[in-house]
Structure 1
């Protein structure tokens, strides 16, 4: 009789006593930190959709590589024009940056020498707030999961999206019960609206949008699985497998 395959251990900080955390840090000084967002994602996706993706990636990488994983920060920097959507709530870039800096300061004093932030929000001020976090005597790395080129998996528009084919497919794979495909509505921007509404300087959905940009009706769970595995492999290769150059004189 074949023995069941053991479930990979969770290295979530919230599940471990401090003594086990200390013992683990003696051999592996990395910490994964998923940073989510509580932002509207159209009428068909939950406001925590970006958080779902970041948490799933962090959990899978934590188990696979035996790296400690911090509790998820569920709030990020949202588009100001979307603050009136019920349920959406965010913080300023300065607040997010300060909160993360204070957290990594505590953890670095306890022996963490490398922080790996994972976020699935593509809003520039959010990404910038995370990317500019610094820790004394520790390395900080930032993974913007949806910055990976996923054009090869798309059947619809390959331009900027918000709750479009990409995120909807990922949620259909990761948490299908939370997706309301009967409510999904496509909204493709023409060239003029694209320049006005999706510029890096200031993103704002037009009034006629249902809260989406792109074609979520083209999303499928099968696409979502392939996208997710592609993103996961990119992170594996770049962050966990590729050798990390150590500056001369730095023995961390």
Structure 2
């Protein structure tokens, strides 16, 4: 029988404490974005991936999954293409801090921020800093789905350094959510990476003709299945390590150092 993920939203208030106790007080927060993904992928690609990955890993580890955050920091995608719904970095930081604070109040002490959108990384790192400073016994990890491991990173970066809606993402959606894919548009969606050697970080409207960076024409469902299996295996291993990790030193965040 297939093991189902442990979903926070399906649990009652008197079940959650036991769920957390059995998982070293850990939870996973999947975070994506709603943004244009070229002419061939639906705007929900990032949050669909984050949720699918979190659910698969929860089924392996029994770590509860918080409800997915569907919106991210997508300001760089500009208003050239319709479909992007974005939070600014300050708002996103505060949203994640408030979610994390509520999770802490419910008993979570190990929080894995599972991010499937590259430019969420900066506000999520800020949220991590704020949460662990506010709660001395709160451990927060930021895991970016495309760089879980070296083999996962290599697959994502194979066709572009500044990739977006590329072969890897298209393959993943062909395997996981084919309803988000327009197969008839894939062959003409390729667009090269124009960011090599640049000094500034330019928005996508100035680096891509169609919102894509990479070669989705190289995608296949078989490659998506293989890549997703790697992502599940490698993230589950990382989370299992985190379930037994303790800080290297016991020093309190707030207590002053003793004078020698």
> TM-score band (shorter)?
0.7 to 0.9
Cα deviation 1:65-85 (Å, max 9, x = unaligned):
111110001000003342342
Q: Is the 8 A contact 2:146 2:153 kept in 1?
A: no
| 8 Å CA contact 2:29, 2:113 repeated in 1 | yes
Q: 1:119 aligns with which of 115, 121, 129?
A: 115
Q: Which runs of 5+ in 2 are unaligned?
A: 253-260
Cα RMSD of the aligned pairs, angstroms, is 2.4
Q: 2:175 aligned with 1:167, yes or no?
A: no
Distance 1:21 1:204, change over 3 A: same
8 Å CA contact 1:30–1:68 kept in 2: the answer is yes
TM-score (norm 2): 0.83
Is the 1:45–1:163 contact (alpha carbons within 8 Å) kept by the matching residues of 2?
Answer: yes
Deviation digits for residues 76-130 of structure 1 (CA, Å, limit 9, x no counterpart): 000334234222111011111101111111221221110001111112xx21111
Question: 61-70 or 154-163: which moved more?
Answer: 154-163
Matches within 5 A, 1:130-169: 130-133=124-127, 134-135=131-132, 136=135, 137-148=137-148, 149=150, 150=152, 153=155, 157-169=159-171
- Deviation per residue, 1:128-184 (Å, 9 max, x gap): 111222241210011101134447558963432110111001111111122112112
Q: Secondary structure at the match of 1:97?
A: helix
Residue 244 of structure 1 is matched in structure 2 by 245
TM-score w.r.t. length of structure 1: 0.86
Write out the 4+ residue segments of structure 1 that deviate beyond 6 Å after TM superposition. Answer: none
3-state SS, counterpart of residue 61 of structure 1: helix
Which residue does 2:192 correspond to in 1? 188
Residues 187 and 233 (structure 1 numbering): CA distance in 2 closer, same or farther, change over 3 Å? same
Cα–Cα, structure 1 residues 111 and 46, in superposed 2: closer, same or farther, change >3 Å? same
Displacement of 1:247: 3.2
Q: How many residues matched?
A: 240
